[in-house]
Amino acid sequence: MRAETRRNIGQDAALSVASLVLVLIAITGLSPLVQGRGWWWIAAVVAVVAIGSGLGFRALRVPAGVVPLLEILVVIAMLTLFFGEGSGILGLIPSLDTFTVFGELADSAGRAIMQQSPPAVAVPGLLYLLGLGAGIVAVVTDIFVSTLRMPALAAIPVAVPPLVTVFVIGNGAAFVPLLATAAAYLLVLRVDVRVRRAGAVAGEAGEDAPRILGPKRAPTVSTIGATLGIAGIGLLTAGVLAASVPSLPTGFFSAAGQGPSAFGVGVNAFVDLGRDLRRPSPRPVLHYTAEDDSPVYLTLLTLDRIDGQVWLPSERELDQENDVGDIEAPPGLRDEVPRSPERVQVWIDGLDSGWLPQPYPASSVAGLDGSWYWDAETRNIRSADSSTAGQRYAVDRLKLEPDPAMLRAASRQVPAELDRYLELPGEVPRIITETAHQVTADAASPYDAAIELQRFFRGPGFAYSTEAPVRAGYDGGSLDVVATFLEERKGYCVHFASAMALMARELGIPARVALGYTQGTAADTTIDGLERRDVDTHDLHTWPELYFEGVGWLPFEPTPDRGVVPQYSIANTVTETEPSAAPNDPASPAPTPGADGGDRGLTPEQLEADGSSATGADDGAALAALRIWAIALAVLALGAMPALFRMARRRSRLRRIAAGGADAARDAWLEVQDTAVDLGESWAPTLTAREFASELGGRPAFGDAAASRTGRALGAILAAIERDRYAEAAGASGIRPADVSLVLRALRADASPWQRIVATVLPGSLLTGVRPGFAFSRNA
């Protein structure tokens, strides 16, 4: 008879505690992706209750197949308690309203993932997703370890949290949690081995129990050695994977056409904008009203650093303290700068983005749905878990009215914290340096230099064109592109804004580039007595912002035939051919774009219709696809390692069996027992070969073990291994390869499709410690 592995409550508890430790350590691998530690405690409580309830149900002798279902119900009850917003019955039992709340939280979590850079703000939707994920990982781990008694498979659920972080962050960011998870995984395997041994010994106690002898030939490889060997390979692989797998770009998961990714970190917004400008049909983006009917520019985000060839926004975490209900005055703005308050009402018509269109600088925003925060440096407004789609909101802004004399008197000394706004990547082409200094040679102050640059670009020497940069191959905003643009003197807003910002930095004036919408077009209707202005995708635009001490950041408009020139930059510098500007405001109606086409926007609706993506340039999509394939191949290669190793071992044994060598009987028996273990047959170190063969012979595929072909083949293999082990004189093994093949086919035929899949992908014989020293008794 075979040794049973009966478990008592103490052994069940040992397995449950080891599983819980593994799950708790695994979910810490998400720490680089989420701000704070509060989320971990929620996830930990859900995991503890899930695995703890499973232990309790097993102690109450609940059928093993029912325990996982009850654990799932417990997880749902915990989520109802934490996130049900009081909709559950008695706070724990979910109602229909509860699942509605869960759906809203799931949508919120999806937007939070798309719209935030790691580490993300732990908004309620994200907390719900983390709690749900921890519950799923805990239940699946408990099923593998305690219900199915296949602890090796626990590696599948617990590997998800640390590996997700590795793929998203990269650069080994999650290596320590991955290492700790691997160590906890080894603990689970070791506890399982000890529990199995304890159960087997208890089942075979007594005077008639067989005596266990050591191996006749090679010494047995201990389970500790085998486990450490496999773990070493796994840890080495994990380390290489963590260090070498390319990280996903921030905003990667929103690359399928969602608005937030249009301006995600790592995206060449200039090239994407340029391709969008060349699309023919404008679409509605939003409409707004402003007090005094004054038109405004609407900023989405600010590009303030150059990474090689691309302008990018700086990577900064969302600060949950920066609620949009109260926005501080922007950096550098002193109280003596003239200003007046103005309210702008905005209705979103066709924009789905995590960046909020708003006039700079805003002092407060009201009426938004979701969690929105302002950036301390740029005053850009972003959401952690919502989008602009369908939003209606009111922006109170500061309408700045700086005096040219005040700007001319601004200090030339640049504050240390603004030094990064003077950085230029690499060696600046000579044409940029020479042109900047030639144009501003007579400027008496940084302010005069700025308006001379603006006048230079809006003069007759430059022409607006969206096609010329593409034909000549200089589309974008890098140093080389700007150098070519200064020679060709044809381009669109991207080139004019980039050129003025780079030349301003060359002159020692802090500069950055804003991306958003121009003032739009006056409609034929009014709203509450105020002029309605419509903004469509043709109004997407970029412009430079320059910093002046005491006043702060101010927009300029160097692009000819687009937008308007701010009033504070007109005095004594603007040619008569330039469009007039609204008094004391940086925006007024723009002239109609030329035949070349106007600036067009970047909305998900347009992207979906055109079949392109906001990250959407073909190069960006191709790079994302390559990364997906690289990650998929790495995961497949890692997952295929056990199957390949087992396949190589099987082929090696079968070749030796066919050759009829001295160890043919040993190889045949090991292959039979390993195949059986792979297919789910239990094995214990105390089982004799005859006991194990008896268990196999009882399977339906063997029929009458004494009379069937498969039964006789199994008996022949058993006789050969016993003769090989105990015969006084060595002789021919008597093993026939056909017998081995017949038994192996019978074992596979007797298994379910699922067992055959698991046997191929995760062969259990690699972790059982079954080796040539399989124990035998003298009277077997």
CATH number for 435: 3.10.620
- pLDDT interval class at 664 (50, 70, 90): confident
Which of 197-211, 382-396, 658-672 is predicted most confidently?
Answer: 382-396
- Summarize the confidence of residues 692-696 as an average pLDDT: 79
Task: Kindly indicate the confidence band of residue 653, based on its pLDDT and cuts at 50, 70 and 90.
Answer: confident
Interval 234-241 mean pLDDT: 45
Average pLDDT, the chain: 75
Looking at the predicted structure, is the pLDDT value of residue 547 above 90?
Answer: yes
Q: Which two tokens stand for residue 440?
A: 């501003």
Question: Phi, psi (5° rounding) for residue 286?
Answer: -165, 170
Domain assignment present for residue 398? The answer is: no
In a domain, 306, yes or no: no
Position 376 in a domain: no
Instruction: Verify that 676 and 557 share a domain, yes or no.
Output: no
Which of the listed residues 221, 255, 289 is the one where a domain comes to its end?
255
More confident residue, 305 or 603: 305
| Residue indicated by tokens 């962050």 | 169
Mean pLDDT of 128-148: 89
Give the pLDDT band of residue 700 (cuts 50, 70, 90): confident
Among the three residues 590, 610, 630, which one is the final residue of a domain in this structure?
610
**669/759 same-domain check:** yes
The Cα–Cα gap between 167 and 249 comes to 10
Task: Establish how many alpha carbons lie within 13 A of residue 376's alpha carbon, considering only the half-sphere containing its beta carbon.
Answer: 9
For residue 473, pLDDT beyond 60: yes
Asked whether residue 499 falls in the same domain as residue 648, the answer is no
Same domain, 599 and 662: no
Query: Do residue 120 and residue 237 come from a single domain?
Result: yes
The helices-and-strands tally (H runs, E runs) of the chain is 23, 16
- 49-73 pLDDT per residue, tens: 999 998 888 888 888 888 888 999 9
Distance CA 715, CA 719 (A): 6
Name the band, by pLDDT with cuts 50, 70 and 90, for residue 451.
very high
Is the domain of 91 the same as that of 136?
yes
Q: What is the pLDDT of residues 377-416, one digit of tens each?
A: 899 998 877 888 889 999 999 988 888 888 998 888 888 8
- Across the range 39-45, mean pLDDT stands at 88
Element (DSSP H or E) covering residue 542: strand 540-548
At residue 258 the predicted structure's pLDDT band, cuts being 50, 70 and 90, is very low
Domain count, the chain: 3
pLDDT for 601 beyond 50: no
**555 and 542 Cβ atoms separated by less than 8 Å:** no
Q: Would you mind telling me the total number of residues written for the chain in this entry?
A: 780
User: Is residue 20 pLDDT above 70, yes or no?
Assistant: yes
Give CA–CA dist 659/594, Å, rounded.
Answer: 84
720, part of any domain: yes
Across 680-689, 693-702, 734-743, 768-777, least confident range: 768-777
Same domain, 233 and 99: yes
CB 257 within 8 A of CB 608: yes
| Domain presence at residue 522 | no
What's the whole-number mean pLDDT along residues 238-262?
Answer: 37
Residue 481 near residue 498 (C-beta atoms within 8 A): yes
419 and 556 belong to one structural domain: yes
Same domain, 596 and 736: no
| Whole-number pLDDT of residue 262 | 40
Whether residues 596 and 715 share a domain: the answer is: no
Residue 617 has pLDDT above 50, yes or no: no
* pLDDT at residue 124 is higher than 50: yes
The answer to the question of residue 744 being in a domain is yes
Half-sphere exposure of 353 (CA within 13 A, CB side): 27
Q: Which of 255, 281, 313 is the last residue of a domain?
A: 255
pLDDT of residue 767: 67
Q: What kind and span of H or E run contains 710?
A: helix 709-726
Give the pLDDT of residue 249. Answer: 37
Whether 60 is covered by a domain: the verdict is: yes
Structural domain for 741, as ranges: 642-780
Give the confidence band of 247 by pLDDT, cuts at 50, 70, 90.
very low
466 and 590 belong to one structural domain: yes
653 with 604, same domain?
no
In 620-716, at which residue ranges do the beta strands (DSSP E only) sit? none
Rounded-to-integer distance, Cα 737 and Cα 732, Å: 14
pLDDT in tens, 340-376: 899 999 999 988 888 899 999 999 999 998 889 999 8
Distance (Å, rounded) from C-alpha 491 to C-alpha 172?
Answer: 42
Nearest 5°: CA angle at 519, between 515 and 523? 145
Residue 385 lies in a domain: no
Report pLDDT digits (tens) over 299-344.
998 988 876 556 778 777 778 888 899 999 888 888 888 888 999 9
